[in-house]
Amino acid sequence: MEGFLPEEREWFGEITGPRRLVDVVRALHGDRPGPLTWWSWAGESFVKDVGWRIDHHLATPGLARRAQRVEVDKEPAPELRLSDHAPLVVEYAE
């Protein structure tokens, strides 16, 4: 699975860190699965919220400290779904 191989995680760790870029979603959401932004068309993955977190919002440490909330702009019902993907939105304090 992409993003989980040791060399991929090592590379991602090299671009993130305390003096480089912060994974804002992880900082706000904690070290738990999600929020998911991609779901397969197969089965009921969208309804069951079984997918992948393939989107990241990276920011400088200063900007990351201003992040207040993260949300996935997911369609409310499967029949309204136009894509296998939903945008990731981060709200920042002014």
pLDDT tens for residues 38-75?
A: 988 888 888 888 888 888 899 999 999 999 999 998 87
What is the rounded average pLDDT for all residues in the chain? Answer: 85
Condensed to tens digits (0 to 9), the pLDDT of residues 14-28 reads 887 667 888 899 899
Q: Is 57 in contact with 25 (CB distance < 8 Å)?
A: yes
Closest CA to 85 of 47, 51, 62: 51
With a cut of 70, say whether residue 3 has pLDDT above it: no
pTM of the model: 0.73
Q: What was the pLDDT predicted at 63?
A: 94
CA distance 14 to 7: 11
Residue with tokens 């945008």: 87
The Cα–Cα gap between 69 and 92 comes to 7
